[in-house]
């Protein structure tokens, strides 16, 4: 069982969770026991509907990989992120000693990461 997780600050948690679930083969966390859906649970705890996309959560179905949380934050991306993983939009390829070294890519919000 995984004992660590990764949290990514973003503007649209639900959208990014869908992207990374597809890219990594992760799945959304199921709602708490006794509830058929997250909206049902959020309603039961009095959470206003306008805040339902303030967070999204994924897990590795095998339990081997980390959980991934996406949290809505008001401020946008300022500098290069330090997340290195796979998937998304190609930006450019970097070389080292005349050979391909890594590729810079971005997720749907422009968060940069390298594929090495």
Task: Reduce the DSSP state of residue 77 to 3 states and report it.
Answer: coil
The pTM (predicted TM-score) of the whole model is: 0.66
| pLDDT values of the chain reduced to their tens digit, one per residue, 116 residues | 446 677 788 888 999 999 999 988 999 999 999 999 999 999 999 999 999 989 999 999 998 888 888 989 887 777 766 554 564 677 888 888 888 777 777 877 777 776 65
Phi, psi (5° rounding) for residue 97? 55, 35
What are the CA-CA distances from residue 28 to residues 14, 15, 18, 40, 111 (Å)? 10, 12, 8, 16, 21
Separation between Cα atoms, residue 31 and residue 81, nearest integer Å: 30
Task: Reduce the DSSP state of residue 60 to 3 states and report it.
Answer: coil
Q: Residue 106: name the closest of 19, 12, 25 by CA.
A: 19
Domain boundaries defined on the chain: 1-76, 77-116
- The residue assigned the tokens 């000693």 is 97
């Amino acid at each position: 069982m995984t004992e660590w997780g990764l949290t990514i600050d973003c503007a649209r948690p639900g959208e990014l969770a869908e992207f990374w679930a597809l890219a990594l083969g992760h799945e959304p966390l199921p709602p708490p026991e006794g509830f058929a859906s997250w909206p049902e649970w959020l309603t039961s705890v009095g959470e206003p509907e306008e805040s339902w996309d303030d967070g999204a959560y994924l897990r590795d179905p095998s339990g081997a990989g980390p959980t991934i949380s996406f949290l809505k934050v008001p401020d946008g991306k300022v500098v290069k992120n330090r997340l290195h993983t796979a998937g998304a939009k190609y930006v450019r390829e970097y070389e080292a000693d005349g050979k391909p070294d890594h590729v810079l890519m971005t997720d749907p919000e422009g968060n940069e990461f390298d594929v090495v």
